[in-house]
């Protein structure tokens, strides 16, 4: 048996729910998608700069890091990095095989910090691939922000590994320029008693496809996958969430709120939660709420929950897509508030709760600024 095949077998068991899916770092294990496959059916492949086919790396990606004290970071080449990352689709596996420089962030054991660690990735025009590893050692506590800006085309994957009893807040921001394209797979691995709270914010870019996948490496872990997205003026934002309950007594909470406005704007949310036979005592909830701001926009929302054990503590999923409510606007306007401000209040109100847990003042302010700028763009 070749070693590549062995690797595939292991992952087949540990990362992916569906037996027909493979996980591999070799792009040749995946066919070039034509858009009719279930997992590619929504993605506008014509607009992804050939990331799915044969786009070559045109430059190294640049990472800028401002780290909280005690947290170290290094930029390493392929032969300096040890990774077990196995990609689960054609683009992420191409990314995995094509990156030249990876960013590795180490949060040492027992380090607890309230200070923020900012990673900024400026995607220059042209094609680039990247890989990021965030290693949170046992009993550590930190907040990491991964911010993507720029106007180029990128495939960037990320591993977030939370060791025993660590507490990681991880915020990913996709706020590219209007023509920017990014496709990212993030793999979260949560060890015993560890807790990851993640938030993704998609606001800028032409195409953003985000595939967060969480699994556990010990019992009693918890993961929160929150998301906010607002597509305007023809933008396409996709989220494919997968939570693999492969350990006992773990908790997951998936909450995404999205908005779409304008002709051709399209958002996609697919949420898969798998509770394996062994994962007794699981507590999981997933929810996607969408707000359509006009008739030209479209939101697809597909929640899936697969339960293989009879002993779950709680398992629920829901999806609601509604329109901007005339009655709400009327109520506000009948109090003298102009239409522009009324829409802004309703939209901000719709998104308001979701930043609530991330209380760091600078972070909150930056997130609100970016969201408000995106709401503002929806009027043009």
Partner 1 sequence: MSELVIKDLHVTVETDDGIKEILRGVDLTITSGQTHAIMGPNGSGKSTLAYAVAGHPKYTIPSGSVTLDGADVLDMSVDERAKAGLFLAMQYPVEIPGVSVSNFLRSSLTALRGEAPKLREWIKEMNAAMKEIGMDQAFSERNVNEGFSGGEKKRHEILQLELMKPKIAILDETDSGLDVDALRIVSEGINRTVERNNTGVLLITHYTRILRYVKPDKVSVFVDGRVVATGGQELAEELEANGYVKFSKATAGA
Among 83, 346, 368, 372, interactor with partner 1 by CB under 8 A = 346
Six-digit token string for 112: 């607890």
- List the helix and strand counts (H, then E) for the chain: 5, 19
Looking at beta carbons only, is 81 or 346 nearer to partner 1?
346
Looking at beta carbons only, is 47 or 340 nearer to partner 1?
340
Q: How far apart are CA 109 and CA 92, in angstroms?
A: 30
- Smallest separation, CB 351 to partner 1 (Å): 7
Q: What are the C-alpha distances in Å from 245 to residues 9, 219, 250, 253, 315? A: 18, 10, 7, 12, 11
Q: How far apart are CA 176 and CA 181, in angstroms?
A: 8
The DSSP secondary-structure symbol of 199 reads E
- Smallest separation, CB 370 to partner 1 (Å): 17
* Residue 77 binds partner 1 (CB under 8 A): no
Q: What are the C-alpha distances in Å from 127 to residues 97, 210, 221, 251, 255? A: 14, 17, 37, 38, 32
Nearest CA to 351 out of 324, 316, 318, 379 is that of 324
Interface stretch with partner 1, choices 132-140, 208-216, 280-288, 345-353 (CB under 8 A)? 345-353
* Residue 365 binds partner 1 (CB under 8 A): no
By CB under 8 A, what part of segment 283-342 binds partner 1? 325-328, 330-339, 341-342
Residue 284 pairs in a beta bridge with: 252, 315
Six-digit token string for 366: 């930056």
Q: Which phi and psi angles does 48 have, rounded to 5°?
A: -100, 20
Among 80, 352, 364, 376, interactor with partner 1 by CB under 8 A = 352
Contacts of 369 (CB under 8 A, 6+ apart): none
Q: Which phi and psi angles does 10 have, rounded to 5°?
A: -60, -45
| Strand, coil or helix: 132 | strand
- Smallest separation, CB 292 to partner 1 (Å): 16
- Smallest separation, CB 348 to partner 1 (Å): 7
The distance from CA 42 to its chain's CA centroid, rounded to whole angstroms, is 17
Site string for partner 1, 151-190 (x = CB under 8 A): ----------------------------------------
* Residue 229 binds partner 1 (CB under 8 A): no
* Residue 345 binds partner 1 (CB under 8 A): yes
- Smallest separation, CB 375 to partner 1 (Å): 13
Interface stretch with partner 1, choices 35-43, 151-159, 190-198, 350-358 (CB under 8 A)? 350-358
- Smallest separation, CB 334 to partner 1 (Å): 5
- Smallest separation, CB 336 to partner 1 (Å): 4
Looking at beta carbons only, is 66 or 318 nearer to partner 1?
318
* Residue 65 binds partner 1 (CB under 8 A): no
Q: Which residues bind partner 1 (CB under 8 A)?
A: 325-328, 330-339, 341-342, 345-346, 348-353
């Amino acid at each position: 048996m070749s070693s590549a095949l062995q690797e595939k077998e292991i992952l087949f068991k540990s990362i992916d729910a569906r037996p027909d899916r493979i996980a591999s770092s070799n792009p040749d294990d995946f066919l070039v998608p034509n858009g009719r496959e279930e997992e590619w059916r929504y993605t506008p492949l014509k607009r992804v700069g050939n990331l799915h086919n044969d786009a070559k790396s045109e430059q190294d990606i640049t990472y800028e890091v401002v780290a909280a004290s005690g947290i170290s970071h290094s930029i390493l080449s392929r032969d300096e990095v040890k990774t077990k990352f196995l990609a689960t689709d054609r683009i992420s596996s191409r990314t995995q095989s094509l990156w030249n420089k990876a960013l590795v962030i180490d949060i040492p054991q027992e380090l607890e910090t309230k200070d923020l660690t900012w990673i900024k990735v400026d995607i220059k025009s042209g094609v680039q691939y990247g890989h990021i590893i965030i290693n949170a050692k046992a009993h550590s506590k930190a907040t990491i922000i991964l911010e993507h800006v720029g106007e180029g085309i990128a495939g960037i994957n990320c591993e977030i590994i939370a060791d025993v009893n660590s507490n990681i807040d991880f915020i990913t921001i996709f706020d590219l320029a209007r023509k920017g394209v990014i496709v990212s797979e993030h793999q979260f691995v949560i060890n015993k008693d560890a807790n990851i709270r993640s938030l993704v914010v998609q606001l800028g870019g032409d195409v953003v496809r985000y595939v967060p996948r969480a699994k556990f490496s010990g019992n009693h872990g918890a993961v929160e996958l929150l998301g906010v997205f607002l597509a305007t003026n023809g933008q396409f934002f996709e989220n494919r969430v997968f939570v693999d309950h492969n350990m006992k007594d773990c908790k997951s909470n998936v909450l995404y709120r999205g908005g779409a406005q304008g002709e051709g704007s399209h958002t996609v949310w697919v949420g898969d939660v798998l509770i394996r036979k062994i994962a007794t005592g699981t507590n999981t909830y997933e929810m996607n709420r969408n707000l359509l701001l006009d008739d030209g926009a479209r939101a697809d929302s597909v929640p899936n929950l697969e339960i293989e054990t009879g002993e779950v503590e709680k398992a629920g999923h829901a999806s609601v897509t509604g329109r901007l409510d005339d009655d709400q606007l009327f109520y506000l306007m009948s109090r003298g508030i102009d239409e522009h401000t009324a829409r802004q209040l309703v939209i901000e109100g719709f998104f308001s709760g979701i930043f609530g847990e991330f209380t760091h003042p600078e972070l909150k302010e930056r997130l609100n600024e970016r969201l408000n700028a995106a709401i503002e763009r929806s009027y043009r």
